[in-house]
Structure 1
Amino acid sequence: MPLNVTSAKAILFDLPLFFNWQSTLDVLKDPPTEYVEKVQPPVDLLAGLDDISARVDDGSIASEYGFGWELYKLVGAAHDGHFAYILDVVGQIFTFSRPLPLVSVSEDGSKLPAVLTTARPPEFLEELSQQGSLQDRDALYNNLFYNLAQISLQSAGSGTGGFSGGGRGRFAPPGANTTLEFANGTTLTIANTARTLLSFANVTSGEDLRRKIIYDEGSTVPSVRPNLITPVSRDTIPSTQAIAPPGYPAPVVAGPSNLINGFYIDGTGYEDVAVLQVPSFISSSFAEAPFQAASQNDLFKQLFPALDPYGANRFRYNEAVDLVGQAFSGVASQYPREAGLRNSTLRAVQSSYFDYHTDTTVDGKPFESWSQKVGPISVNGQYYTALSRWNLTDIYIPYQAGINVTGFSNLTRWKPEDIVLVTDGYCASTCSIFAELMTQQGGVKTIAMGGRSNANKIQAVGGVKGANIFQWGFIQTYAAQAKQLNNTLRTSALKEYDVGKAVGRSYADGINVRDAVRLGDESGIALQFKYEEANCRLYYTAEMTVNAAAIWKAAANAQWKDSSKCIGNGGYYPSNAKRAAQGKTTTLSPARGYQVHGVQALRQYEALEGSFSVETEYQRDAGDGFMQP
């Protein structure tokens, strides 16, 4: 498809309007030294747009796909799962896959992990992993491989791993073939796959294809754009998951669609160990109530009801944010805040961030005005709004969150030494907020699984640590609403958001609008740029790739029986430490373990292959959105 330069330049004009809402825009150009050394290099996003624009002008970018791929790579270089822009030509024509997944395992849990199917962990895989949306390199590496937790999520997860075309791996053309080299010197060449997402009937040229999917100045026969919103019927969503996902025992408490499940571990020595598995915190309207029912969740408040979750956050200051807040707060202040308000427009205004009554200062006090909330506040030479916190007693919390927060008590329900948080590094977005509360306020320790083939310590939270994502259409809507609420803003900077070329050609997009900032941290550095090693690291073994209980047993052993199992002798407790006695609080009987070996594992995988595609399709959510796989 030859590039329509006029259309490309219109998109490049739009993009900075939305990039200015990215909370980390300034720090990405000059991140903290430790972040650069251990996580990712700097990236100047606005300069990157200028470079792409110059290459459009000089003709070195001459195709629609080349243009879209350069934009994809630029945004991906931020390694922020909330920050995305995928042009239609990249996301809506083909997805790509290799016909087999890989695993990276340690022979005995102590030896360095090796990639099974290939002879050694090549640098190629580490480079390939950088195409993912996570920031930590060990988490990115893990996400290349077959993983039971992602499998349990079916199409909502990253399939059988980025190497085989799951998650973000589906967008990167892998070439015609993949050649595997085995330890005994033999090789195997297999054909890769491109999956078509639209009909190629009557398409005989690039121009034909362009007219089929793009509507702009160069398309005389616009097609109907694909509907990216997948409707979900409550009647089709089970309130509980009756069938255990592959590799898992039957849950004793089942949540919706495997988003949350409770287990016991079968076997001597694990009688007092329970597992709460949360493979996804994705917010969907059908899942909120049953998710809470499974965990009694407002999860952190149920575990530590006496603690007041901090969760401070801030916007990057820009003129549009200020103007929207002036309009929303101005109207919201004229009316009382009432539970059960039937005026949906007013309810939306009064429950948004842009009404200063919605949340509180870091001291838990009400903001007195929008100007107090918006600032701007100078932090390390950049400008942000004032730090704010969720007001969990606000009357609109049930409307915003879909649940009532019930975990309020002066009781100490759990001791931090009785809990351990186990991750594979793919902890991002809401998960990162939960992990921050659990570790920094709850005092809970962490175990990180897998990682690259070395003996270094690794992070437990390897994904985006931002606090809120907006889809770009939300920003356009806020600008439009602000102008309706306040006519004087019609000629303001908000009029620039009337344009729609970038949004109109977006397969998927997102902006991280809020930084998360740690309690008591005077540095002002967002959590996104904090590097923090887990308390313990464990390698995957072969059994763990087909039996989730093997992971849980290894984690329980390292945390409460023998911390020398941690790679590099990390860990929290000495090997002879014991937990405080914790009585059983349920009469449910432990479920039988799910042991999978040899031929059983092969049959399980063959059955899995036929049950769903490794492709994962992006769905826009009705709320503030979520990190897409």
Structure 2
Amino acid sequence: MRFSLVLASSQLAWGAALQARQTSRNACATAARLAQTSKYDIDGSPIIDTSTAYDCMSSLPFDSSKADEFITEIKKYVQFQSTLDVLKKPPSNYPSSAVDIIAGLDKIAANDYDSHYDFDMAVANLLSTAHDGHLSIQTCSTTGIQFYRRGGGLISVSKDGLETPEIYLAWDKSALKSGSSDVSPITSINGQDVIEYLEEIAATITSQDADARWNQLFTSGAALASYPGSSLAYQGRFVYNSGFWPGADKTQLEFKNGSSIDLDTVALYTTGLQHTVTSNYGFLSLLCNPSSTQNVRRDTSPSVTKRSAPTSTAGPVGYPVPIIRDPENKLVGFNLDEETDVMFIPTFESPGNGTNGTLSLSEIASSIINNALENGRTKLIIDLSGNGGGSISRAFDLFKYFFPNEFPYSGTRFRRSDAMDSIVLGLKDTDSEGNILPFYWRNQVKPNQEEDFKTVEEFLDGGDQLDTKVSSLFANFNYTLLSTDPTYEIHGFGASAVNKTQPFKAEDVLIMTDGVCASTCTTFVNLMTNVGGVRAITFGGRPRLEPMQVMGGVRGAQSLAFDQIDTEAEAIDTQALTPDQLKLAKATVPNVNALPWYLPGGNVNLRNAYQEGDDDLPLQFAYQASDCRLFYTATSLDDPSETWSQAKAAIWGGKDCVSNSKGGKGSLEDRSKNEGANNGNGGGQNGGENKEDKKGGAAQISPGFFALSLMAFTSIILAVC
């Protein structure tokens, strides 16, 4: 019996949507011709007929024998994922479900599929169930045509920021602001309760927290500020759905007043117009044959692909006029009122993809802080809404601006596997030239930044943890080594003089997020809240009267791309391995040339991060509630300064927070009540050691999406989540 992923995805009620169609052998050729003549596009990708597009994708030939080969090789990459074993048996307070990724891949290999597209979606969707933004794969067929809901941006709106919100069409926001009675909330989608339907879509998003996933469904000015090169980023995941087929040509929305509308599914041809396509097989070959893909356009995700932001003459779209900003709006300062300034950080990416990026942003941060002090501001709100990560050195450096006398702790481990050990042992005598990737043991230091490892065996042998062998605990990187390059200097560890005067009291700084905060963002927030003792407020989330996590995205210490694993594998010195070790390496280390199909991209979380005083549980599985939660109103969705004002009123003005949202596990109030208890990481039973002065409590490390060295610096330091 043939297996179709889309038909099997009952959680999204896709079954009824995939009605049998007479697919044509030439549907892809027709799609290519339509793209050539299309008069409309989104982010440069031509819009084509949806039925033809789906017919093309659903009729791409599937080769089960090559699928087996593909899964065999992909499992070799996935073995580098640091959380594989914990995911099978996560702690009870983990907000997502358990999943066995390797067993899931084996199950996919055992199935037969109606099309190559179904197979590729199965692989991508399986990895998304890990809810780890550092674990992902971009499969070849999904890059050819992508699907979106037209005009269907949604918003989640509370009447006063305290009542549970209802769901509306985004275009009703102005009417809601004016108090119009003509606006009606959505009650169901495709006949299913609207909350249930949206929660099922949200479950496919990779953030580890359910409220963070929920917020990403909706239109967001902060998301546009984080992804300024993409017009679809603003629309939310309900609209773009990772570009995957949403299950039907139309999506029906039903309203409380009894009316309904249909949203059309739009198809974007993302392959490039310079290629001739004469058949479905030819289209698949163009996308997936390794020898045929070198000229195919690879900028295939107009919705959320991180790209260099254009230099702007104004602040972020939809935001007030800034007082200080960098040319790409990656760090922006605003004045809220006579006593309060705002530092908005939509991303930790460095401007211009690198050169002196962290240095220039460090200067901008210094200017924002100094300007606030010079103008008599006594309070600062740090808005990290929509922040998905970036350059890891920025997180440590910025923390040191606010707390120059505190140590920015970082502790990490990787999961040991035959492949990981083979690379580390194969590179043990290699001149690493400053490369601080964890494959090079000689460049690693212990979390105190004062001790190194004497042997490769000491570095590798961290014993067993959560049913798997792990490395010894080591720092994210050597701060002093990193700071020898002025581009990535961390204040207090390089040559620059450091002002030891703390600019603001901890109680006068407020962290604000929408829960989306991921990767490098979580490193910064963890340091600010658990080491600095700063309070945090969150906005949005599911319509529930309960606490919400401040860091809902991936909290791993390092993301590593598949092709970087390939690079290090190719560098193995075979003379450094015994015959048995070499045999094991050949059997377990991935080889990109063994893949039967082109692989556009993939990542794993290579290292777990840990809280100081609690190195038993990866921070990915810890829970830290904010100190207060508010829902978005129609006004605050439209005006960020209103959001900042509401945050200020709740934290410093005595105004209410959402009922039952204060004092959640891991919040400052909770840590204060449980001084000395094992809850410094906000996880209650999972937490780290807490200290009354908030100085010794925790510190998470960082996600670096890439790697490092003076050449490698650019790869580890530019973390993208």
Global fold match (TM > 0.5) = yes
**Structure 2 residue 582 is matched with structure 1 residue 491:** yes
Secondary structure of the residue aligned to 2:333 is strand
Counterpart selection for 1:473 from 563, 573, 582: 563
1:373 maps to what in 2? 459
Which residue identity is paired with 1:305? P
- Give 1:212's aligned residue: 286
**Cα 1:62–1:527 shift into 2, 3 Å:** same
**Structure 2 residue identity aligned to 1:40:** S
Equivalence for 1:482 = 572
Q: Secondary structure at the match of 2:234?
A: coil
Give the 3-state SS of the residue equivalent to 2:137 in structure 1: strand
1:42 to 98, 102, 108: 98
* 1:28 maps onto 2:87 in alignment: yes
Shift of 1:473: 0.6
CA distance in 1, matches of 2:415, 2:317: 43
- After the TM superposition, which of the residue ranges 481-490 and 77-86 deviates more from structure 2? 481-490
Deviations 1:487-529 (A, max 9, x none): 768934333433435496223310000101001115x010001
Deviates further, 2-11 or 422-431: 2-11
On the 8 A contact 1:150/1:158 being kept in 2, the answer is no
Contact in 1 for aligned 2:412/2:557 (Cα 8 Å): yes
**1:534-573 alignment to 2 at 5 Å?**
534-568=626-660, 570=662
What code does the residue aligned with 2:490 have? V
Deviation per residue, 1:368-400 (Å, 9 max, x gap): 22221111421233211111114554334455x
Rounded Cα–Cα distance in structure 2 between residues aligned with 1:354 and 1:202: 43
Counterpart residue number, 2:444: 359
Cα distance, 1:300 vs structure 2: 0.5
TM-score under structure 1 length normalisation: 0.81
Say if 1:466 and 1:528, in contact at 8 Å, map to a contact too: yes
- Separation of aligned partners in 2, 1:565 and 1:233: 36
CA distance, structure 1, for counterparts of residue 338 and residue 293 of structure 2: 63
Letter of the structure 2 residue corresponding to residue 498 of structure 1: N
| Conserved? CA contact 2:270–2:300, under 8 Å | no
Report if aligned partners of 1:247, 1:546 keep a CA contact under 8 Å in 2.
yes
* Secondary structure of the structure 1 residue equivalent to 2:321: coil
1:258 aligns with 2:329: yes
Q: Which residue of 1 aligns with 2:172?
A: none
Deviation at 1:223, TM superposition (A): 6.6
2:196 is matched with 123
Deviations 1:99-119 (A, max 9, x none): 231110101222211111242
For residue 72 of structure 2, give the secondary structure of its aligned residue in structure 1.
helix
- Per the alignment, residue 2 of structure 1 pairs with 61
1:348 Cα deviation from its structure 2 partner = 5.0
Distance 1:620 1:314 in 2: 16
The residue number in structure 1 matching 2:260 is: 187
Contact 1:473 1:503 in 2 (8 A): no
Separation in structure 2 between the aligned mates of residue 23 and residue 172 of structure 1, nearest angstrom: 30
Contact conserved, 2:354 with 2:718, CA < 8 A, in 1?
A: no
Amino acid at match of 2:209: D
Equivalent of 1:325 in 421, 424, 427: 424
1:365-444 equivalences under 5 Å are 365-390=451-476, 393-399=479-485, 402-407=487-492, 408=498, 410-444=500-534
Report the counterpart of residue 6 of structure 2 in structure 1: none
Determine helix, strand or coil for the equivalent of 1:321: helix
Q: Does 1:86 align with 2:106?
A: no
CA contact (8 A) 1:72 1:86 kept: yes
Structure 2 residue matching 1:425: 3-state secondary structure? coil
1:285 matched to 2:354? The reply is yes
Aligned to 1:243: 314
Q: Deviations for 1:187-233, whole angstroms, at most 9, x for unmatched residues? A: 122322111112577545321211222216xx9x7773434599999
Q: State which of 368, 375, 399 in structure 2 corresponds to 1:300.
A: 399
- Residue identity (%): 27
Q: Are the structure 2 counterparts of residues 385 and 459 from structure 1 closer, same or farther at C-alpha, using a change threshold of 3 Å?
A: same
Question: CA distance change for structure 1 residues 451 and 185 in 2, over 3 Å: closer, same or farther?
Answer: same
* Number of residue pairs matched by the alignment: 551
Q: Is the 8 A contact 2:359 2:487 kept in 1?
A: yes
Distance 1:210 1:61 in 2: 15
Which structure is higher in RCO with an 8 Å CA cutoff and minimum separation 6? 1
Question: In structure 2, do the counterparts of structure 1 residues 46 and 487 end up closer, same or farther at CA, with 3 Å as the change threshold?
Answer: closer
Structure 1: which 5+ runs fail to align? 333-345, 575-618
Q: Supply the distance in 2 between the matched residues of 1:348 and 1:318 (Cα, whole angstroms).
A: 25
Equivalence for 1:53: 109
TM-score, with normalisation over the residues of structure 2? 0.71
Distance in 2 between residues matched to 1:322 and 1:370, nearest whole Å: 10
- Measured after TM superposition, the shift of residue 125 of structure 1 is 0.9
Deviations 1:386-432 (A, max 9, x none): 11114554334455x93211245543333211111110010011011
Q: Mean alpha-carbon deviation: is it higher for 509-518 or for 360-369?
A: 360-369
Aligned counterparts of 1:492 and 1:264: Cα–Cα separation in 2 = 63
Quick check: 1:314–1:514 contact (8 Å CA) kept in 2?
Answer: yes
Q: Does the C-alpha gap of structure 1 residues 66 and 449 become closer, same or farther in structure 2, counting only changes over 3 Å?
A: same
CA distance in 1 between counterparts of 2:421 and 2:458 reads 11
Considering only aligned residues, what root-mean-square deviation do their CA atoms show, in Å? 3.1
Match of 2:339 among 264, 272, 276: 272
Cα separation, 1, equivalents of 2:230 and 2:418: 36
